[in-house]
Amino acid sequence: MELTPHVQEKLHAGHKLTAVVEAGLVQDFIKNTRVVALIEVASTHVKQGGEQALLIFQTARVPVHSAIDLSIEQVIAVDTNLKCEIDTSSLDVDTDVLVNITSGKVRLLFEMPFSQRTNAFVSEILRAAEVVSKRRGPPPEFAWLQPYQKSSTSSQDPASPGSAPTTADTLDGLGGDAVSLGDVSVDICQNLSSTYPDPANCNTENSSVHTENERSPDLGVNRHSIATGLSPTPIAARESHIRYQMAMREDAYTDIQEFTVFVGTWNVNGRSPTVGLAEWLAVDAEPPDVYAIGFQELDLNTEAFLFNNSPKEQEWLNAVLNGIHPKTKYRKVRLVRLVGMMLIVLVQEKHLAYVRNCAIDTVGTGIMNKMGNKGAVSVRLDLHNTSICFVNAHLAAHQEELERRNEDHDCIFQRTCFHLNITSNSPPKTIKDHEHIYFLGDMNYRINPCDMNIREVASSGEFKLLLQHEQLTQQKNAKRIFHKFKEGNILFKPTFKYDVDSDEWDSSEKARQPAWCDRILWYGDSITQLEYRSHPQLQISDHKPVSAIFMAGIKVVDTRRYRRIYEEVMKKLDKLENEFLPQVTIDTTEIILEPVKFYQSQTKYLTIANTGQVPVQFEFIKKLNDVTYCKPWLSIRPYSNFITPGEKCDVSLEVLVDKQTAAQLNSGVDQLYDILVLHLEGGKDLFITITGDYERSCFGSSINALVHMNKPFRDVPVAKLIDLESKQPKELSEMPYAVPKELWYLVDHLHSHGLQVKGLFTHPGLQKEIFEIRTCLDEGVEHQVLPGSVHSVAEALLLFIEALPEPVIPYSLYQAALDATPNFSLCKEVINKLPDYHRNVFEYLMAFLKELLNHAEDNTLDANTLAHVFGSVLIRESSAVAGSSDRRNQNQAIERKKQTFVHHFLMND
């Protein structure tokens, strides 16, 4: 299937298709086919090249035949918000890959085949995202996407009215067959709304009601989707979906609890902690829940610089541990140091059990982007259900190095990467992958020269005036750095640069201007800053320490509710799994036949309707110990087939009791009764009972039984028939006939009416007349007259002989008869060995055939023809032998032998 040309056709001039793939969009528990395309605008159309976007198309047909099939469902700009992640936790290699595409609150989960194409497509998205992340200057506007966003109304995403980025709006179908697509888009809205469950709903105790309400929209089989073959298919990777569903319902089982977080930063100028730190770390009444304490210039030694080995680490750690709030006990979560940058994260002892997945990383941005005199050290952790990242940075120094600081900032965000070793499957995390981010450190941003005396104003407390010229604030407002981060109002004096052991501004030759080098910023929805301050009492460094107290809303799992919702999700999946089992309804499980007559076929129909959600492959299967799936008198067409949801399949059941099956039914060995097992692949089995009465007939009865019947066949009780057909009948007639009377009627009729008829035994009879003759013979022949033409009688005679369960030449003498053919006397010997009645029949028939040949002038018969016709019915191979191997090649020789056998008796005495 080649999608490229069709998608290309949907694009506007100047827009290029980078990659396209067909994927299953997972909505709740169902996936629907989508076409996902990555497009790029030519650099001539926008200020800066490289702007890309994802177009999600609905498709009216699978596979896509033309551009008309495609209509745009969503447009997602590839900006810094876009994330594309591959779920690697799926353990089954055979299943599809789950690809998460997120942008703001829009979150799409696709199942894509595990293929090179998918790999390439995801790589392209990642590449595009990387281009954006490295982009400098103002963020792209994506105005070129306007044509695809036909109506730029507010987002249809119910979870985030208005809050979603404007580039991620859900759109109406573009062009195409708008009417037929109506159904689909409604369905999608419903699905989307159930994908983002209302937290209020989840909180209700009556979970089953909630589940019901939520289920109903998407389980109804959508007629339109059936018609187009786009019916939803069940999702493949169950485990990933449990996770997905649980994440979607997070609000329902987590409570927000307020935690106080103390964040401190201090450039200690290589000094040792000769003073206590309590004036910095323990000035508040209540102890914070979490401490994140960052240092810069911990050690200015070359030793530390080159070998990252410093005795100061322990000194300062001890000082911290001695300086923290004495009211409660703390435990160290992580300490990370790179040369002079050190970050210590502590939590109250009681919280330690809820801290998980800690990881650290360091990024050096000094010389060659390697040396650790500048850069950042970071710690990430999960506190209860909230991911938190602390970054302690030391950016490039000096007034004029603004751009270098910006680049250090970029580099820290790009290169910091946490590897969680909890599972090798999980992708590494970047700073931005966290819900709460605290960015602290000596940022080194200065105050730009201005017409104020910076020192004077800094001392006066008119910080607002100065902050207008403050580089970090300016760069942040220009969205160059710390995009989406927040910083509290600065109400403290610049923290740099002081004479050591004093509160005096730098009095050295360099006479550095004061600056707010030491800063604390944060990112995250549920964080409030309570304090942002400096601690000028601590004078050992040329910087003053800074601290901030935050009130952070941490998601705490309510185990009871979690369990319940987890169970709910599991239950729902189980339920769906059961609902996605193949389901059919059949119009009947009991098929009752009209009375079945010999050689007269009867057909019944069974309608199998696929009433489930998935395509059904059905097959009639064998029962235990059976060789075939049904009795030999029955044939089922088709016995196996494929039905799409909403479709039906008519199955014909033809019953025909023929010469092979009649004897078994006559003798009571078999009955017209069978239970058919209709198996649905991957699902249940249905039993279909087929019952009927067989009207026994002289056709298919044995010579030995028939000669003992002095009454019309129909008048003989069934018990007597079964007895006569048994090996040792209890009750035999005292006056048996020499040959079966039915045979006599047939032959006599031909003798009386057919001797002179041209084409006798070569001209076919009429089926209807043969049935009448059969009925007549069974019910008793009146006035020795049989109905129908002589040709029908002739054929009935042949059928009668052929239907004999034991042929005239019994199976036991079959081989002997064939072997005797070269010699007439040998053939006669075989005949002498026949059971009495069989020999009677044989001789009676031969006499009749000879009589026929006497009238050859009229009936144009010849011995060869008659010998051939009768040879094949008188001498028969048992079906067990015949079926055992392919005897097709020998058939002609055998037929010739049978003919020769009979021919002897026609030509000789």
Partner 1 sequence: MSLTYVDRLLYFWFKMSAGPYNYSYIFKYIIIGDMGVGKSCLLHQFTEKKFMADCPHTIGVEFGTRIIEVAGQKIKLQIWDTAGQERFRAVTRSYYRGAAGALMVYDITRRSTYNHLSSWLTDARNLTNPNTVIFLIGNKADLDAQRDVTYDEAKQFAEENGLMFVEASAKTGENVEEAFLETAKKIYQNIQDGSLDLNAAESGVQHKPTQPGRTNLNNDSQTNRDNCSC
**Which one among 62, 467, 581, 609 touches partner 1, defined by CB under 8 A?**
581
Please report how close the Cβ of residue 763 comes to partner 1 at its closest, in angstroms: 47
Please report how close the Cβ of residue 386 comes to partner 1 at its closest, in angstroms: 8
Nearer to partner 1, 95 or 789 (CB): 95
Q: Which stretch binds partner 1 (CB under 8 A): 78-86, 299-307, 506-514, 812-820?
A: 78-86
Binding mask 27-56 for partner 1 (x = CB under 8 A): ------------------------------
Binding mask 200-219 for partner 1 (x = CB under 8 A): --------x-----------
Question: Does 476 engage in binding with partner 1 (CB under 8 A)?
Answer: no
Give me 17's structure tokens. 């298709």
The total of other beta-carbon atoms located within 10 Å of residue 306's CB is 11
Please report how close the Cβ of residue 160 comes to partner 1 at its closest, in angstroms: 11
**Which one among 243, 480, 714, 896 touches partner 1, defined by CB under 8 A?**
243
Which helix (H) or strand (E) segment is 214 a member of? helix 207-219
- Chain positions 606 to 635 lying near partner 1, rule: CB under 8 A, are 623-624
The rounded distance, in Å, linking the Cα atoms of 659 and 633 is 10
Please report how close the Cβ of residue 158 comes to partner 1 at its closest, in angstroms: 15
The rounded distance, in Å, linking the Cα atoms of 829 and 852 is 25
Q: Which stretch binds partner 1 (CB under 8 A): 218-226, 453-461, 565-573, 766-774?
A: 565-573
Binding mask 220-239 for partner 1 (x = CB under 8 A): -------------------x
Nearer to partner 1, 88 or 602 (CB): 88
Please report how close the Cβ of residue 688 comes to partner 1 at its closest, in angstroms: 8
Q: Interior CA angle at 383 toward 378 and 386, to 5°?
A: 90
**Which one among 284, 401, 410, 806 touches partner 1, defined by CB under 8 A?**
410
Please report how close the Cβ of residue 387 comes to partner 1 at its closest, in angstroms: 5
Give me 168's structure tokens. 């991620």
- Chain positions 118 to 157 lying near partner 1, rule: CB under 8 A, are 118-119, 122-123, 126-127, 130, 134
Please report how close the Cβ of residue 14 comes to partner 1 at its closest, in angstroms: 27
- Chain positions 520 to 559 lying near partner 1, rule: CB under 8 A, are 525, 557
Nearer to partner 1, 383 or 796 (CB): 383
**Which one among 67, 68, 420, 556 touches partner 1, defined by CB under 8 A?**
420
Please report how close the Cβ of residue 36 comes to partner 1 at its closest, in angstroms: 16
Binding mask 164-193 for partner 1 (x = CB under 8 A): ------------------------------
The rounded distance, in Å, linking the Cα atoms of 236 and 239 is 9
State phi, psi for 529 to the nearest 5 degrees.
-90, 130
- Chain positions 99 to 118 lying near partner 1, rule: CB under 8 A, are 100, 102-105, 107, 114, 118
Residues 6 or more apart in contact with residue 315 via CB below 8 angstroms: 272, 273
Q: Which stretch binds partner 1 (CB under 8 A): 247-255, 438-446, 711-719, 734-742?
A: 247-255
Question: Does 312 engage in binding with partner 1 (CB under 8 A)?
Answer: no
Please report how close the Cβ of residue 296 comes to partner 1 at its closest, in angstroms: 20
**Which one among 7, 248, 706, 760 touches partner 1, defined by CB under 8 A?**
248
- The overall longest dimension of the chain from CA atoms, in Å, is 149
Give me 850's structure tokens. 């000879």
The rounded distance, in Å, linking the Cα atoms of 885 and 876 is 16
Which among 636, 635, 677 is positioned nearest to 657, based on CA atoms?
Answer: 635
Q: Hey, which bits of 201-289 come out as E strands?
A: 233-234, 254-267
- Chain positions 696 to 715 lying near partner 1, rule: CB under 8 A, are none
Residues 6 or more apart in contact with residue 508 via CB below 8 angstroms: 499
Question: Does 406 engage in binding with partner 1 (CB under 8 A)?
Answer: no
- Chain positions 777 to 836 lying near partner 1, rule: CB under 8 A, are none
Nearer to partner 1, 164 or 703 (CB): 164
Pairing of strands 640-643, 673-680: unpaired
Nearer to partner 1, 165 or 176 (CB): 165
Which among 13, 19, 41, 17 is positioned nearest to 115, based on CA atoms?
Answer: 19
User: Which whole-number Å values give the CA distances from 726 to 310, 616, 621, 696, 712, in the listed order?
Assistant: 107, 46, 32, 15, 19
Q: Which 3 state secondary structure label does DSSP give 746?
A: helix
- Chain positions 421 to 460 lying near partner 1, rule: CB under 8 A, are 422-430, 432-435
The rounded distance, in Å, linking the Cα atoms of 232 and 612 is 11
Question: Does 566 engage in binding with partner 1 (CB under 8 A)?
Answer: yes
**Which one among 685, 715, 779, 862 touches partner 1, defined by CB under 8 A?**
685
The rounded distance, in Å, linking the Cα atoms of 815 and 820 is 9
The rounded distance, in Å, linking the Cα atoms of 835 and 570 is 74
Nearer to partner 1, 77 or 447 (CB): 77
Q: Which stretch binds partner 1 (CB under 8 A): 83-91, 327-335, 607-615, 886-894?
A: 83-91
Please report how close the Cβ of residue 314 comes to partner 1 at its closest, in angstroms: 32
Q: Are 602 and 654 in contact (CB under 8 A)?
A: yes
- Chain positions 369 to 398 lying near partner 1, rule: CB under 8 A, are 369, 382, 385-387
**DSSP class of 107:** E
Number of chain residues interacting with partner 1 (CB under 8 A)? 86
Residues 6 or more apart in contact with residue 906 via CB below 8 angstroms: 846, 849, 850, 853, 863, 866, 867
Residue 567, classified by CB atoms within 10 Å of its CB into exposed (0-12), middle (13-18) or buried (19+), is exposed
The rounded distance, in Å, linking the Cα atoms of 86 and 99 is 5
Q: How far apart are the first and last CA of the chain?
A: 78
Pairing of strands 694-695, 596-597: parallel
Which among 731, 701, 700, 703 is positioned nearest to 836, based on CA atoms?
Answer: 703
Helices and strands (H, E) in the chain, number of each type: 29, 30
**Which one among 16, 356, 483, 486 touches partner 1, defined by CB under 8 A?**
356
